[in-house]
Amino acid sequence: MTQCTRQTVAVLAALLLSAAAGCSGSGPSAPARLARSGAPAPAPTTAAGAPAAKGFTLVASGDVLPHTSVIRQGAADADGQRYDFGPMFSGVRPVVSAADLALCHMETVYGEDGGPYSGYPAFVSPPEIADALKDTGYDGCSTASNHTLDDGADGLRRTLDRFDKVGLGHAGSARTAAEAAAVTTYRAGSAKVAHLAYTYGTNGYPMPDGQPWAVNLMQQDKIVADARAARKAGADVVVVSVHWGTEWETEPDDTQLSLGRSLTASQSAGRPDIDLILGTHAHVPQAYEKVNGTWIIYGMGDQVAGQMFNPSGDEDPRGGYGSLGRFTFAPPAAAGRRWQVTKAEFVPQLMDRGAGRVVNLTDGLAARPDREDYRTARDEITEAVLGRGAAKDGLAAAR
């Protein structure tokens, strides 16, 4: 079971964590805790009756970027009944729904029910996308990107309102100052997992009047301070999503490398402040790398996108390439130590634009060995993911 809370004070956090089963909140800064399905299982205990520590799996994926063709596909799959994006994600649903905690990246903002909607360059997407993400098995998403302010404060508000309605957590953008100061947390296994999110910028759109906190910007000092605050509030694992990098470059740029080194080197009382970094934005898959003992995914690529053109003006199939990262966390050997990643995996995936579906390429090639485009995508994704030597640290393709 995965549960999500947003907290503004430590007392509230303690009350939420002590609840035996479920809780409710009011207002945008305190959505209800989320259970994946069914009644919560009893907490495991030791022979002495104390709660036993339990590990968990975390799955993360790249940019959900609904171009106009993606919106049309959602309408077609709904058979005239507005929009249905569930079929689009069905190929990755088994991997996502099996995780204890699953995080996506919602790059765009939502419009009013019924539209109008738009694709590039200023995205306004159907809110039914959130319903599909929830149904696929995601627990929450990062929402800080260069497109977060494409429709101003109203678009941001509509997006987070829809997330709250369907029961998805969110990190990186906020409707109120209190919400911006809160920490998004999830219960996975016996761990309390904090999720923080930031973007390099907002495409020149200024913060809404009187709302300088609307979107988290990528500033090293702020990220470290927020991570330390999350840890102080009781987070066992701190996950940071960063919208960064150079578009269409499979190699991480100097900012990614230097910021990644600094963030993974940051410690408090001998314990790393950040346990995992998840990168988005580049439109192409980038490497995974273990830096200072902490895994970084520099870029997961696009999970959902329409036809993409690179800086040379050429249609580029890599805009539909991506990876799902899957990490298995084990409890620490002693109190106050970090939770350890005992298994690191990736799942190559492709946005098949012809079919309008996200394809798990491991399964896709098993079912369609004749698809040379699937084979090419898998091989190029794998080359990018392993491009900085992650295999030597144990990263492997998921089976």
* Domain extent listing, the chain: 55-397
Q: What pLDDT score does 41 carry?
A: 38
Q: What pLDDT score does 50 carry?
A: 57
Q: What pLDDT score does 4 carry?
A: 56
Q: Which of 138, 83, 84, 81 is nearest to 106 (CA)?
A: 138
Q: What pLDDT score does 82 carry?
A: 94
Q: What pLDDT score does 52 carry?
A: 80
- Tell if the pTM clears 0.85, that is, is over it: yes
Alpha-carbon distance of 329 to 355, in angstroms, equals 35
Assigned CATH topology for domain 55-397: Purple Acid Phosphatase; chain A, domain 2 (3.60.21)
Q: What pLDDT score does 49 carry?
A: 54
Which three-class secondary structure state does DSSP give residue 301? strand
Alpha-carbon distance of 117 to 295, in angstroms, equals 37
Alpha-carbon distance of 382 to 390, in angstroms, equals 11
Alpha-carbon distance of 145 to 66, in angstroms, equals 14
Structure token pair of residue 22: 């479920």
Q: What pLDDT score does 335 carry?
A: 85
Cite the beta strand spans of 107-200 per DSSP E: 109-110, 124-125, 140-142, 169-171, 183-188, 191-199
CB contact burial 2-24 (16+ within 10 A = b; e otherwise):
bbbbbbbeeebbeebbeeeeeee
Q: What pLDDT score does 25 carry?
A: 31
Q: Please identify every stretch of the chain with a pLDDT value under 50, giving residue numbers as ranges.
A: 1, 7-46
Site of tokens 């600094």: 262
Q: What pLDDT score does 1 carry?
A: 44
pLDDT per residue as tens digits for the range 370-387: 999 999 999 999 999 999
Site of tokens 């953008």: 173
Alpha-carbon distance of 195 to 192, in angstroms, equals 10
pLDDT per residue as tens digits for the range 160-194: 999 999 999 999 999 999 999 999 999 999 999 99
